[in-house]
């Protein structure tokens, strides 16, 4: 029994070593006789960790990243290491990419915003639609309440359109357009989503920098664009970086039907049942509904999604 167990262990260890070797050696040439995983005499596994190789060229929304500068390369290197080795979180993001990116990409195109801004959404929320920050920023685009209202989102005790992916994405696009017009580049527009347009402009006035890469910001903003760039690099070519998800592994968009509502709903649970669904499904597909009822003012209309049964 002990010998059989040992053989099984060696087989499993070998499989893990093989997978780790493929991932590890994707980034640099291995030394002769080097292995990514070693089985010690006591049976424990000892892993070897490597620094991921940085891309030779990189841009954000068509604006080149000056990778010839040592400080820029080191800042990118830091977030490449962090995001590559956060395996569980990266895999979960990749599973959600197939659910949310097609819709977000379509809204970005419709609003004339570069496709790379979808990675701003990833940097903000890791594509988790229900997440709320300690400061109160909510959902995929992490709008603060005041900013959301300023960009046309309805936010109250009954409705919070920060959780409506379509409306929140359109609001984010409006923000990016304003920031681009004010700050003069897409990279600056993206950075300002973290520190605010006024905050970014103050740094430009004080430091006189020509680009984001020429200036110093508070640490969170210092890292913000590099987090976006590292996510773009990994998520755009996941298998190059060793994330081997197949089509059956990822989450698909949920097929829905739309019910337009022009009158108040006193009980959303009853309303869901009347539409052949459940309160749980209603809340999963319409997280912007924040209470058990939906008051509707005269002339106002809402669209509620229900799953299409297969």
CA 29 to chain centre: 31
Provide the pLDDT for residue 34: 60
Provide the pLDDT for residue 35: 65
Nearest 5 degrees, angle CA 47-CA 49-CA 50? 150
Nearest 5 degrees, angle CA 109-CA 111-CA 112? 65
Tens-digit pLDDT profile for residues 207-240: 999 999 999 999 999 999 999 999 999 999 999 9
Identify whether residues 103 and 216 lie together within a single domain.
Answer: yes
Provide the pLDDT for residue 267: 98
CB contact burial 112-121 (16+ within 10 A = b; e otherwise): ebbebbbbbb
DSSP, res 263: S
Identify whether residues 211 and 260 lie together within a single domain.
Answer: no
Identify whether residues 184 and 291 lie together within a single domain.
Answer: no
Q: Is residue 52 part of a domain?
A: no
Q: Is residue 249 part of a domain?
A: no
How large a percentage of the chain has pLDDT more than 90?
A: 82
Provide the pLDDT for residue 39: 76
Q: Based on C-alpha coordinates, what's the Rg of the chain?
A: 23
Identify whether residues 226 and 299 lie together within a single domain.
Answer: no
Identify whether residues 152 and 75 lie together within a single domain.
Answer: yes
Q: Is residue 89 part of a domain?
A: yes
Provide the pLDDT for residue 2: 40
Domain count, the chain: 3
Beta strands in the chain (DSSP E): 37-39, 45-47, 59-60, 63-64, 256-261, 302-307
Provide the pLDDT for residue 101: 97
Provide the pLDDT for residue 33: 53
Q: Which domain holds residue 279?
A: 256-307
Identify whether residues 184 and 278 lie together within a single domain.
Answer: no
Identify whether residues 99 and 228 lie together within a single domain.
Answer: yes
Provide the pLDDT for residue 5: 40
Tens-digit pLDDT profile for residues 5-33: 444 344 344 444 444 444 444 455 555 55
Helices 219-236 and 87-110: angle between axes, nearest 10 degrees: 90
Provide the pLDDT for residue 151: 97
Provide the pLDDT for residue 40: 76
Enumerate residue ranges in the chain where pLDDT < 70. 1-35, 310
């Amino acid at each position: 029994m002990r010998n059989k167990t040992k053989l099984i262990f060696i087989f499993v260890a070998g499989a893990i070593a093989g997978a780790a070797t493929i991932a590890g050696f994707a980034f640099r040439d291995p030394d002769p006789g080097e292995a990514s995983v070693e089985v010690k005499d006591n049976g424990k596994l000892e892993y070897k960790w490597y620094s991921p190789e940085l891309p030779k060229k990189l841009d954000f929304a068509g604006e080149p990243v000056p990778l010839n500068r040592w400080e820029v390369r080191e800042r990118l290197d830091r977030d490449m290491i962090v995001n590559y080795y956060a395996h569980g979180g990266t895999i979960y993001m990749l599973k959600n990419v197939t659910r949310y990116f097609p819709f977000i990409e379509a809204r970005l195109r419709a609003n004339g915003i570069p496709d790379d801004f979808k990675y701003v959404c990833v940097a903000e929320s890791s594509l988790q639609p229900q997440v709320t920050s300690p400061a109160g920023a909510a959902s995929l685009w992490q709008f603060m309440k005041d900013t959301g209202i300023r960009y046309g989102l309805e936010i109250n005790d009954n409705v919070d359109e920060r959780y409506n992916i379509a409306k929140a994405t359109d609001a984010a696009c409006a923000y990016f357009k304003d920031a681009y017009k004010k700050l003069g580049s897409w990279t600056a527009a993206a950075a300002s989503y973290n520190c605010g347009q006024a905050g970014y402009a103050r740094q430009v006035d004080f430091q006189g920098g020509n680009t984001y890469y020429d200036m110093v910001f508070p640490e969170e903003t210092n890292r913000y664009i590099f987090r976006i760039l590292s996510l773009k690099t990994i998520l755009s070519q996941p298998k190059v970086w060793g994330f081997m998800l197949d089509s059956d592994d990822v989450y698909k968009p949920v097929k829905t039907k739309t019910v337009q509502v022009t009158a108040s709903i006193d009980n959303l649970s009853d309303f869901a049942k009347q539409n052949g669904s459940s309160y749980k499904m209603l809340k999963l597909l319409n997280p912007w509904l924040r209470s058990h009822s939906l008051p509707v003012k005269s002339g106002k209309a809402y669209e509620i999604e229900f799953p299409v049964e297969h």
